[in-house]
Structure formats: structure tokens, C-alpha cells
Amino acid sequence: MDQRRADPRGALVRPYAVTRGRTEPQQDIALEAVLTASPTQVAESRFAGHDKHRIATVCEGRAQSLAEIAAYTRMPLGVARVLVADMVAESLLTLHTAAPAEGFEERMELLGRVLSGLRRL
């Protein structure tokens, strides 16, 4: 029997070795944050390691959330969060943030009016 399959802890230990034991990302990235990778970023990610290249490949040509990246690469979410934050800092991924904090009240008021209008239909 394969040694890794015999020890269920083996699959969990190895990914954290990729982050060098770090459990906190360089910057906080929300689970729903949208990330993309250009063809140039994907090419450059080949030199950053296998896991980072896999992440960049998942984000090439299609925007992905942090949660989707973790799911598609089958990485624990904490590991994906650390690697993705590193990649954003290294310009290997582009982070597209959601609505800015300023103007939140106005946006909520507008959404409320739209919802109210839809209810009248």
C-alpha cells in the first residue's frame, strides 16, 4: 500500500510545507474576491513553483474567487489564501476588489429602490 494513503495526515501536512509554515496571508483577501491571471502572469508563474503555476492557470481567461481557486486546485482554503496573497504581492495574479467602502450607503439606498420597484411589478 502507498505510504501516503496509509497515513491520512500526509495529505494535510504537505500543502502547509508549500507556505513554509505560514498560516496568515500577507494581505487579507475575501473569499469572494475575484482574481484573474493574464497569459504573461501565467508564463511568469512557472518560475514561482508548481502550486502557484496551477493557481495562475486556473485564473487564466476566467475570473475566479478565492474559494473557487481552493476548490479547483483541491488545496485547503488556508493554504490557497496564503499562496494567492503571495501571488498578488508578486504581481502573478490580479485582484479585483468588490465595491469600494466609500459610497456604500448610497449603493444600498439605490439597491433598496430597485428592489422596491421590482416588488411593485
Positive or negative CA dihedral for 97, 102, 103, 109? positive
pLDDT interval class at 37 (50, 70, 90): very high
| 67 compared with 13, residue with greater pLDDT | 67
- Determine the pLDDT at residue 121: 64
pLDDT at 43 exceeding the cut of 70: yes
- Number of domain units in the chain: 1
pLDDT at 102 exceeding the cut of 70: no
Is residue 7 in a domain? no
Report the percentage of the chain scoring pLDDT > 90. 18
Averaged over 99-103, what is the pLDDT?
62
Is residue 26 in a domain? yes
Is residue 107 in a domain? yes
Averaged over 57-67, what is the pLDDT?
89
Is residue 3 in a domain? no
Is residue 9 in a domain? no
| Residue 120, amino acid | R
Is residue 12 in a domain? no
Contact 65, 1 (CB under 8 A): no
Is residue 91 in a domain? yes
Is residue 34 in a domain? yes
- Determine the pLDDT at residue 1: 47
Q: Containing domain of residue 22, as a range? A: 17-119
- Determine the pLDDT at residue 32: 80
Claim: this prediction has a pTM higher than 0.85: no
